[in-house]
Amino acid sequence: MNQDPWHTMQQFIDATSNATALAGRLAERNIRSWLRPEPPACQEPYQGATPFEVIYRFDRMRVLKFHGCPATRPGTPLLMIPSLINRSYVLDLMEGGSLIAHLVQHHHPTYLLDWGTPGPQHDHLSFGFYIDELMALATAAVRRDGRADQVDLLGYCMGGTMGLLHAALHPDRIGRLTLLATPINFHDEGVLSRWASAPEYDVDRVIDTLGRMDSLMLQSSFLFLKPLSTWQKYKSLYEGANNPKFTESFVKLERWLNDNVSVPGECFREYVRVCYQENRLVEGGLVLNGKPVDLRRFTGPILNVVALKDHIVPPASSRIVTRLVGGPVREELIDAGHIGIAVGSKARQMFETVQRFHSEGSESTN
């Protein structure tokens, strides 16, 4: 039966009105998020153990400088770059037992880039913008505060990939670079690579629908990489429940693992496309923020710390960097997993290696 044309027109008007109202609500939410004042310091996401001060802030991004004993000698400042997916305090979980604490105890000027929590107003920012411009602001702040011509970088996981790309774009500003469990070849044998690089993974549809990559979706994906890991984890907690040090470490690590961050839409789209789908770090032809990226332009020393039991970044994915850059690469192989390399019992080996590597750079500049 044919509908009354006036009734059809009314349905169209109602649908249009509803869509307009929805668009208005979305615009209002974005504006409110943009105008929302910064939360007080006690509500900031950084929950590490080492005291710090904020030396620079741009929008949600902060650069933290860690307090410690006065340095016995000047040194090249070291800026740590975390992943955009996880909170930055993974390298400072345990008091007296973190990489940051270890560096501070050895009188090394240590800084951390804290990305903060992005809002809807950041969904248009590209991966290249983060690497080329936001990181440039952070390194400039560290050089200024440390009164240094160059800054060393240390990147963990995705942060290492970003650190390498930034060093290739701005080689004159970077001294030494440490890559910690860092993916370089994204077409590896790992499950994550097979998922994200598959033609069936339509990153455009995901971002066009959601606006960003939701943190809960990311966390679920990582859990599915090792489906039995949760059971094994709580089995270990049951067996070690009488050990206060173990339980404290367990709780702090779990807090970090569940304190995830959604990734701005355009940033995630470009990251997946150029890294996982096109593998541009290996294949070449990478352009970020309108600038060609050639990894051979960075000729400074690189320390590549590889986790031999890494199920997220297989060792071969990291070790290929030796063939791609223009300077010397020192490898450190650690019998640990992706998380254990940073916070587990094997992490102490990494602490000592990183501290020696960056101290060598400081001594050569004095």
Q: Kindly tell me if the per-residue pLDDT of 160 is higher than 60.
A: yes
Q: What is the pLDDT of residue 269?
A: 97
List C-alpha distances in Å: 72 to 7, 75, 203, 210, 227: 82, 9, 50, 51, 48
Q: What is the CATH number of domain 44-365?
A: 3.40.50.1820
Higher pLDDT, 155 or 256: 155
Please write the tens of the pLDDT for every residue from 316-340. 999 999 999 999 999 999 999 999 9
Helix (H, G, I), strand (E, B) or coil at 162: helix
The stretch 181-193 carries a mean pLDDT of 93
Q: Is-contact 258 250, C-beta < 8 A?
A: no
Please write the tens of the pLDDT for every residue from 217-258. 888 888 888 888 888 888 888 888 888 888 888 888 888 888
Q: What is the pLDDT of residue 44?
A: 58
To the query of whether residue 157 is one of the catalytic residues in this protein, the response is yes
Higher pLDDT, 115 or 23: 115
Residue percentage of the chain with pLDDT more than 90? 60
302/333 Cα distance (integer angstroms): 14
Q: Kindly tell me if the per-residue pLDDT of 26 is higher than 50.
A: no
- Please identify which of the residues 69, 157, 267, 275 carries the catalytic annotation: 157
Confidence of residue 42 (pLDDT cuts 50, 70, 90): very low
